[in-house]
Amino acid sequence: MQEQPYVVIMAGGIGSRFWPYSRHERPKQFLDILSTGRTLLQMTYDRFLKISTPEMFFVVTNKNYEHIVREQLPEVPESQILTEPLRRNTATCVAYASYKIASRNRNAKVIVTPADHLILKEDNFLDKISKALKAAEVNNNLITIGIRPNRPETGYGYIQYLINEKSVAKKVKTFTEKPNAKLAKTFVDSGDFVWNSGMFVWKVDSIIAAFEKYMPEVAEVFEEGEQHYFSSSEGDFINRAYTLVKNISIDFGIMEKSDEVYVVLGDFGWSDLGSWMSLHEIKEKDESENVIEANALVYDTEGCFVKAPKDKLVVVQGLKNYLINDSDNVLLICELDAEKKFREFVSDAKQKGEDFV
């Protein structure tokens, strides 16, 4: 029987592009955004429970959200909820989890996943994960999951791979962060690019070897934690460690530099649910392409997203491609595709008072 993989769920983001529904005190991964009765974090956990067991899960989150993770995933051992004292991006998040897992099992295989993605075809997805786990057994291969693109999306990163390879895991040639529309179209038309899902599979030894080679300063910090992991001194060690490392993504820090990166291609109804626009795309709509999650009267309006408490009547007239969101003490009305403005919205709202963010 194949040994169960560890599953590392990255759940530390602040979800600012879903403001004001997503707030600093409870970001989108802890919300039931899809109205399923389960939060995005819980849905991610449920998905991987089909191939692993609760004691194999690690959740990395900001220290401010530890209580929410415990509340939503009580089955995960408390020692495996890893709390970050500072926001240091995904490379540090992966390093912390990897070195802690290695202190327990140096031969482990690990799946790393964001907490807030949608996957519609879960059986298909788990088949790809199984193939990725097998590919990760070879040498020091680092496997990423790529999504076959169906449009020239500018909000995702792209991975180029060797198209003539017959193996399930394709050798990666290049990574490109969010391209402009013209370049995105070129990528999609070429046939050898996929979207970067931000999901990874590898042996823990492989990723540690990569840290030692490409991010030795991070490796040095976290390998010193071996005597602290799973002990009462771990918190103090991590508080010190996070002041010694820089803010950098795992893609930029390792994946773009390594020549041992492979991609497994997938087409399983994936969305990173990164914005109101991406949520609008997958939600049920009326005959005018409106998503209505409110007690609303809508006239001469199309392509809008209306979300408000049911005890408030919302009347909308004459709008096209707008977001109307009434959440607690904030009413937001903006263009549906204005996600690049959200950082400004949140920053300016904070000037009005902490209660608004």
pLDDT digits (tens, 9 = 90+) for 63-79: 999 999 999 999 999 99
For the chain, percent of residues with pLDDT exceeding 70: 99
Mean pLDDT for the stretch of residues 207-228:
98
Q: Is the pTM of this model over 0.85?
A: yes
Q: Which residues contact 306 (CB under 8 A, 6 or more apart)?
A: 290, 291, 292, 293, 294, 296, 298, 314, 316, 324, 325
* pLDDT of residue 199 exceeding 50: yes
Dist. CA 283–CA 152, nearest whole Å: 20
Q: Which two tokens stand for residue 247?
A: 């803010």
Mean pLDDT for the stretch of residues 176-205:
95
The 8 Å CB, 24+ separation contacts for 184-188 are 184/152, 184/153, 184/154, 184/158, 185/152, 187/149, 187/152, 187/158, 187/160, 188/149, 188/151, 188/152
- Per the rule left: phi > 0, alpha: psi between -120 and 50, beta: everything else, 312 is beta
Confidence band of 339 (pLDDT split at 50, 70, 90) = confident
Please write the tens of the pLDDT for every residue from 241-297.
Answer: 999 999 999 999 999 999 999 999 999 999 989 899 999 999 999 999 999 999 999
* pLDDT of residue 103 exceeding 80: yes
Q: What is the pLDDT of residue 1?
A: 40
Confidence band of 164 (pLDDT split at 50, 70, 90) = confident
* pLDDT of residue 140 exceeding 60: yes
Sequence letter at residue 225: G
Dist. CA 168–CA 150, nearest whole Å: 20
Confidence band of 163 (pLDDT split at 50, 70, 90) = confident
Dist. CA 98–CA 92, nearest whole Å: 10
Contact criterion met (CB below 8 Å) for 115 and 44: yes
Q: What is the pLDDT of residue 240?
A: 98
Mean pLDDT for the stretch of residues 186-203:
96
Contact criterion met (CB below 8 Å) for 270 and 197: yes
Query: Cα-flanking dihedrals φ and ψ of residue 230, to 5°?
Result: 65, 30
- Name which of 280, 347, 352, 356 is nearest 22 in CA terms: 356
Confidence band of 2 (pLDDT split at 50, 70, 90) = low
* pLDDT of residue 165 exceeding 80: no
Burial (CB count <10 Å: 0-12, 13-18, 19+), residue 73: buried
Would strands 57-62 and 81-84 be described as parallel, antiparallel, or unpaired? parallel
Arithmetic mean of pLDDT over the chain: 96
Beta bridge partners of 145: 264
Q: What is the pLDDT of residue 166?
A: 81
Contact criterion met (CB below 8 Å) for 261 and 271: no
